[in-house]
Amino acid sequence: MFLFFQQWRAECLKLLARKRTYLGFGAFLALEAAVLALVHIKGATHFKTLITRQGQVFDEYYSAPTLALILFMASVFLLGGIYMTLVSGDIVAKENEDGHMRMLLARPISRFRLLLVKYLTCVAYTVLLVQFIAWSAFLMGLAVTGWGGGFFAFVPELGIAAFYDWQTGMGKYIAASVSLSLSMITVTSIGFMLSCMPIKPAAATIGALSYMLIDFILRNMGFMEDYKHLLFTHHMQAAGRVLAEEPAWPVIIRSFAVLGAMNLTFFLIGFGIFDSRDLKS
């Protein structure tokens, strides 16, 4: 177990030593700063309408977690998905293309173990990136609105518009950020599976993004209503459901179980393909 941890640590250090790993972090900081600047310059009239329409006091709920949630939920899936598929699409395909895989596999390590180490590194990156986005957005929100106030949890696609005090709101915000981190692992898993195939890293990234967007587009089409349980983006909505006043835990648990099973399936398909490959230039 200690050896596995050492190998995973070495893989994480390798990932963190690459400049392109930080592209996602930089892009989100820029996006968050731009959106907050716009909110600040143009005024928060949209928020004001939304909050006052619910019969609540605007100044109370125009707070750091309210601002952060809107930034966070709107951007993680699409923009975050790009960076997650970029990293996971590279992790095997790029190493193979560059010849690193041959150096690694000349060592006494099984392909399964090597891939597991790499997959868990992608998972760690996904969680780290989503948490970074959640808390950088929160800090930027703090800079605009200051500490304290309530939390207005607004997820229109799930019909959630709930008001919480600061303490309960922070709990909900943390739960949402953790749930979103976990659900985004499926995007990473798709990128990883494609990366194990004998294709270029860019093809793996584009393939994973295409899968994600096709799934997302289908989810938003009315005639897929009866089949939405087959779409992973439908199950990813479980992350937003935790923000409801009374979360539908059976639905949330079922969705996370489906996402977990999909992750395992994507990993095993990726491993099966990679294990059958001859690694020779």
Partner 1 sequence: MALLEIQHLTKQWKAGKLALDDVGFSVQAGEIVGLLGHNGAGKSTVMGIMLGMVHPDKGQVNIGGYSVQTQRAAALRQIGAIYEAAAFYDYLTGWQNLKALCSLSGYWDEAEARRIVKLVQLHDRIDAKTGTYSHGMRQRLALAQALLPQPKCLLLDEPTDGLDPEGITEFREFILRLRDEFGMTILLNSHLLGEVEQMCDRCVILREGKKVFEGIVPGRGENKVRFQLTSPDVQEGRVVCARLELKMDREGIVELPPPMEGHTVLRALVEGNVRVESWQPHKQSLEELYLGLRRR
Binding site residues, partner 1, CB under 8 A: 3, 6-7, 9-11, 13-14, 17-19, 98-100, 102-110, 114, 276, 278-281
Least distance between partner 1 and beta carbon 265 (Å): 24
Q: Which is nearer to partner 1, 40 or 102 (CB)?
A: 102
Least distance between partner 1 and beta carbon 108 (Å): 4
Least distance between partner 1 and beta carbon 201 (Å): 15
Q: Which is nearer to partner 1, 46 or 102 (CB)?
A: 102
Q: Which is nearer to partner 1, 11 or 215 (CB)?
A: 11
Least distance between partner 1 and beta carbon 114 (Å): 7
Q: Which is nearer to partner 1, 9 or 229 (CB)?
A: 9
Residues 6+ apart with CB under 8 A from 34: none
Least distance between partner 1 and beta carbon 116 (Å): 12
Q: Which is nearer to partner 1, 15 or 243 (CB)?
A: 15
**Cα distance between residue 264 and residue 9, in whole Å:** 22
**Cα distance between residue 266 and residue 258, in whole Å:** 12
Least distance between partner 1 and beta carbon 280 (Å): 5
Q: Which is nearer to partner 1, 7 or 237 (CB)?
A: 7
Q: Which is nearer to partner 1, 167 or 276 (CB)?
A: 276
3-state SS string over the chain? CHHHHHHHHHHHHHHHCCHHHHHHHHHHHHHHHHHHHHHHHHCCHHHHHHHHHCCCCHHHHCCHHHHHHHHHHHHHHHHHHHHHHHHHHHHHHHHHHHCHHHHHCCCCCCHHHHHHHHHHHHHHHHHHHHHHHHHHHHHHHHHHHCCCCCEEEEEHHHCEEEEECHHHHHHHHHHHHHHHHHHHHHHHHHHHHHHCCCCCHHHHHHHHHHHHHHHHHHHCCHHHHHHHHHCHHHHHCHHHHCCCCCCCHHHHHHHHHHHHHHHHHHHHHHHHHHHHCCCCC
Least distance between partner 1 and beta carbon 193 (Å): 21
Beta-ladder partners of 163: 152
